[in-house]
Structure 1
């Protein structure tokens, strides 16, 4: 089996979070989905698990940080600068927040940082490796 990553995120409303991540381009994995948790696929190797707060608390006793705090930024690579802008627009139109940090444009790399409805930080990025 190839190595995969499953990123678990506590969410206050699983259905709203599914809608948000589908708008960003994720696909729901019905094998890992139910009322308390839903698996969302970004690629063959990268999956998000959206867990209700009750489900999250069955996995750990550590507190869920407030939506104004960040422990990690999950950067998602996209095919173009336009795709980055489209993801930011989709985030804002589906319960999230676009541009929680200033837009970064370095010519060879373009990023916009988003927040999902629960405040989890997601970076939309495009990079031209050949220009580095």
Structure 2
């Protein structure tokens, strides 16, 4: 019995599948959320003359979305689908980091860590005022 090493091709397959299925799952969740939302609010008339700003921090938003998804809230399902869509390429970057670590390609490990840092900073600043 030969013991094969987990290689770059394996990571490329995993990353490709992550991107492919991540997009489909996130779109499916958002689509189902849209159907649920329209079933409950299809006849509502929205007032777009007033913009309602959200002053909650990221933890409050995630908690509200989680609770809404558990309750089957259409808006929360749509937002969860958007979060999944956002997380798909972020997970791809994290998988790339492990791939570069296994290959001992430290230049790309450094670049990938910088990208992860930029993502974390932009998400953190995006939810704080």
Q: TM-score by structure 2 length? A: 0.28
The structure carrying a bigger strand percent of its residues is 1
Higher relative contact order (CA 8 A, sep 6+): 2
The structure carrying a bigger helix percent of its residues is 2
Q: TM-score by structure 1 length? A: 0.27
